[in-house]
């Protein structure tokens, strides 16, 4: 999926893209970045949720190209294959495989001119397979506008489990347009958490189909925005089989003139009886110029289901601010405490300790910087 194709899709599907306008991108000229042949690993400080470097399993991409010389997989060699043109595939299929250590995908960008970076990735987990996958989007070098278009397809076999974390940490010149399509087999479980804390424009689309009975899906995330940043989380969970369950919880914090968008749709197909689906969106406005658009939606074609959705937008509680200031905190400290408290609740939904601690540290740093 190229930038041009994404822009054309946004023009055709105006309802889904009503809060995110890609016209400014269409007016810019982006070119494919040059591929640097010789790379020194010491030139990059790679992020990781693992403190011990010896325990890291990392797959590193530079400008959309997998660079084995920067990666470290140890005993997991052979996990990924492919190339930029054909796309990449990460497979644990046709076998029962338990990968206990998280695998981190690190996307680096480096360009001296406005560049478009495209990456297609197919992930397939066989029956009873377990994998934790963490994606890091890193700020570009060169201070040039960069448009990253990611197209990810995921297929989970029966009883498989994928914990999928994503963090977007670009600078004000980066645009990230990510589309993830997930097929969840019988008894399988897909758990996604995304932290957006920077970037000029970020759109995260997730379409998850619970194709087998007793499939489960959890989509959670937080968007931390300031300045004139724009972040859009658009999800669609399709319950296509009976006894499925899904949970969605997204939180947004918007300051300055930032804009946060959450569009969440749940579709329960005919015959998907005993479905249990819940969706919640909450947002915190830090300024009068900030904007939050929320659009929850339910489409139910079965009669024996339990489904709910909710949405709330508000500002910092003045009474809570007064309470904290009366106990010795200045205004900046009191605001930071309330913002962190709002964000911490959603971070508790992350069950993996290393990933949870990493997101907490990133979010705490952002909250403290708001004052």
Per-residue model confidence as pLDDT tens for the chain (371 residues): 788 999 999 999 999 999 999 998 888 888 887 766 666 555 678 888 988 877 889 999 998 999 988 898 877 778 899 998 899 999 887 544 556 679 999 998 888 888 899 999 999 999 999 999 999 987 666 567 889 999 999 999 999 999 999 998 867 778 999 999 999 999 999 999 999 988 889 999 999 999 999 999 999 999 999 999 999 999 999 999 999 999 999 999 999 999 999 999 999 999 999 999 999 999 999 999 999 999 999 999 999 999 998 999 999 989 998 988 898 888 888 988 999 999 999 998 898 999 999 999 999 988 877 65
Q: What are the two backbone dihedrals, phi and then psi, of residue 299, each rounded to the nearest 5 degrees?
A: -130, 110
CA dihedral sign of residues 334, 336, 337, 342: positive
CA nearest to 239, candidates 278, 205, 211, 207: 211
Here the tokens at position 310 are: 């909710």
Strand order in the sheet with 259-268: 80-83, 87-92, 115-125, 146-156, 174-184, 201-210, 230-239, 259-268, 291-300
| Cα dist from 132 to 34, 166, 215, 269, 293, whole Å | 31, 11, 18, 29, 31
Q: What is the pLDDT of residue 210?
A: 98
Here the tokens at position 147 are: 């448009």
d(C-alpha 125, C-alpha 162), whole Å: 8
Percent of the chain with pLDDT over 90: 63
Here the tokens at position 139 are: 């700020």
Q: What is the pLDDT of residue 199?
A: 84
Q: What is the pLDDT of residue 97?
A: 54
Q: What is the pLDDT of residue 36?
A: 66
Q: What is the pLDDT of residue 46?
A: 85
Specify the residue for token string 């996990």. Answer: 79
Whole-model pTM: value is 0.93
CB-CB contact of 345 with 361 (8 Å): no
CB-CB contact of 202 with 233 (8 Å): no
CB-CB contact of 60 with 70 (8 Å): yes
Helices (H) then strands (E): counts for the chain: 5, 19
Q: What is the pLDDT of residue 139?
A: 67
d(C-alpha 136, C-alpha 200), whole Å: 16
Q: What is the pLDDT of residue 178?
A: 96
Q: What is the pLDDT of residue 267?
A: 97
């Amino acid at each position: 999926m190229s930038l041009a194709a994404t822009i054309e899709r946004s023009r055709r599907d105006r309802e889904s893209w009503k809060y995110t306008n890609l016209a400014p991108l269409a007016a810019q000229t982006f070119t494919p970045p040059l591929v640097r042949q010789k790379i020194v690993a010491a030139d990059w400080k790679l992020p990781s949720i693992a403190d011990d470097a010896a325990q890291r399993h990392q797959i590193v991409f530079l400008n959309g190209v997998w660079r084995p010389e920067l990666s470290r997989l140890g005993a997991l060699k052979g996990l990924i294959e492919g190339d930029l043109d054909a796309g990449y595939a990460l497979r644990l299929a046709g076998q029962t495989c338990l990968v206990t250590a998280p695998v981190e995908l690190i996307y680096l960008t480096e360009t001296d001119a406005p560049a478009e970076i495209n990456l297609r990735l197919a992930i397939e987990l066989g029956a009873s397979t377990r994998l934790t996958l963490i994606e890091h989007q890193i700020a570009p070098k060169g201070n040039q506008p960069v448009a990253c278009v990611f197209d990810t397809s995921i297929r989970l076999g029966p009883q498989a489990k994928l914990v999928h974390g994503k963090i977007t940490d670009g600078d004000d010149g980066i645009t990230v347009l990510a589309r993830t399509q997930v097929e969840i087999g019988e008894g399988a479980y897909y758990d996604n958490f995304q932290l957006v804390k920077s970037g000029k424009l970020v759109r995260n689309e997730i379409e998850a189909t619970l194709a087998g009975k007793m499939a489960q899906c959890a989509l959670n995330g937080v968007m931390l925005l300031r300045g004139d940043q724009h972040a859009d989380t658009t999800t669609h969970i399709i319950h296509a089989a009976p006894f499925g369950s899904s949970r969605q919880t997204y939180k947004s914090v918007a300051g300055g003139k930032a804009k946060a968008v959450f569009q969440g749709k749940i579709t329960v197909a005919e015959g998907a009886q005993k479905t249990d689906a819940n969706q919640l969106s909450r947002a915190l406005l830090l300024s009068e110029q900030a904007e939050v658009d929320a659009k929850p939606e339910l489409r139910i074609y079965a009669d024996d289901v339990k489904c709910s959705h909710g949405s709330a937008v508000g500002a910092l509680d003045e009474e809570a601010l007064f309470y904290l200031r009366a106990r010795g905190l200045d205004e900046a400290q009191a605001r930071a405490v309330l913002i962190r408290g709002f964000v911490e609740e959603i971070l508790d939904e992350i069950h993996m300790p290393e990933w949870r601690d990493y997101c907490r540290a990133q979010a705490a740093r952002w909250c403290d910087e708001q004052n």
